[in-house]
Each structure stands twice: as C-alpha cells, then as structure tokens.
C-alpha cells in the first residue's frame, strides 16, 4: 500500500513538473508553429490571427503584446546575421537590399527583453519607409551601429544581444503562401568593437 502511494506521488510529481516545465519553456522561448524563415529573418504569419497556436496566444497574453492581424501586416525578426552569428550591439551591421511592397514599414532594434534599443544621441528609435535614402534600384542600405554613420543610420546603445525587427504594414506578402517567395534585406556584420 505504501509503495503504491509513493509511486503514485512520484508519478504525479514528474507529470506535473514536466508539464509545467514544458509550458514554461514554450512560453519563454520565441518559438511558434508555422514560422517562415527567409534568410536571417523569421516571420510568424499566424500571430494575431484566430489560427495562432495556443502557446502563441498565451505568450502574448502574458506579455501584453499587441500582434498585427492577418490583413494588417507582418513582422520579421532577425536574431542572427547572414553568417549565422548572433546580433550584438557591440558590432556594426549593414542591412542591405530590397523591402517587399508595403504601404508603410519600420525597422528598429530591440533587446532580449523586448525593449527598444536606441542610441543616446538620437530621438528616432526606428527607421521608416517614408524617411529613408534609397538607391537607384529602390533598395535600401542601412547602418546599424553605436557610432554615427552617413546615409541611413539606426542608432543603438549598450551591450549584449539584440534583434532587428522589420514590420510591413498593409502588405500583400502577409499571405503565408507568398512569404517564402519574397526577398528581404541581408544583414551583414561589418566589424566589432574589441
């Protein structure tokens, strides 16, 4: 009798602990079903829609985040450069290439906690499509750095890892079938401090 009670208690502890641990990991990581990867960029097309998985819904409820609906736009996140190295604030990056057609788009940097990384000497935490210098072929070259740079410059400050977030508003590429076909800017590491 005592052996059965002990085994039942151990089984319940493993089941509850394992279940709670797996839910915690799923909510703490930026993992979702139906992710689409294009180069360094990852999109979550189901985010903000009724088709979003339960973990995604729980994560956004917990974080009080506001996701774009399916027809409103699409968010791409780059955590690594084109060579697969994590993005670090101590390094300078060049984001170069075309951006898919959208009525409006923004590019900003955020830290691991989701806060916006902005340089001390700038009042603009993000770049947007209406105020950028473009190349003759309509591509964009942006420098992401702690030091001022000519042309399009996204200022950062601090140290550690960060993510680049490209948000396309009112775009036809929000359809999941078309996301994998688009081209996004390449994120290239130019150099690092120290």
Nearest Cα to Cα of residue 44 among 80, 36, 167: 36
One pLDDT digit (tens) per residue for the chain, 194 residues: 788 888 888 888 888 887 777 666 655 555 556 677 788 888 877 776 777 777 777 766 665 566 666 667 888 889 999 999 999 999 999 999 988 888 899 999 988 777 777 766 556 678 888 888 888 888 899 999 988 889 899 988 888 899 999 988 887 765 555 666 788 899 999 988 85
Q: Whole-model pTM?
A: 0.78
Query: Token pair for residue 176?
Result: 């999941």
Distance CA 28, CA 22 (A): 10
- Collect all residues with Cβ–Cβ distance below 8 Å to 114 and sequence separation of at least 6: 63, 65
């Amino acid at each position: 009798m005592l052996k059965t009670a002990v085994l039942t208690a151990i089984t319940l502890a493993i089941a509850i602990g394992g279940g709670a641990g797996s839910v915690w990991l799923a909510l703490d990581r930026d993992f979702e079903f139906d992710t689409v990867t294009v180069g360094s960029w990852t999109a979550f097309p189901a985010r903000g829609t009724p088709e979003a998985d339960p973990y995604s819904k729980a994560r956004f409820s917990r974080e009080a985040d506001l996701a774009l609906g399916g027809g409103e736009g699409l968010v791409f996140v780059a955590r690594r450069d084109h060579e697969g190295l994590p993005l670090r604030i101590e390094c300078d990056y060049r984001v170069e290439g075309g951006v898919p057609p959208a009525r409006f788009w923004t590019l900003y940097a955020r830290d691991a906690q989701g806060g916006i990384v902005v340089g001390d000497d700038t009042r603009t935490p993000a770049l947007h499509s209406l105020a950028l210098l473009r190349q003759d072929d309509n591509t964009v070259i942006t420098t992401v750095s702690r030091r001022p740079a000519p042309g399009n410059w996204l200022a950062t400050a601090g140290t550690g890892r960060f993510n680049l977030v490209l948000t396309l508003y009112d775009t036809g590429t929000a359809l999941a079938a078309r996301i994998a076909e688009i081209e996004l800017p390449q994120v290239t590491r130019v150099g690092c401090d120290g």
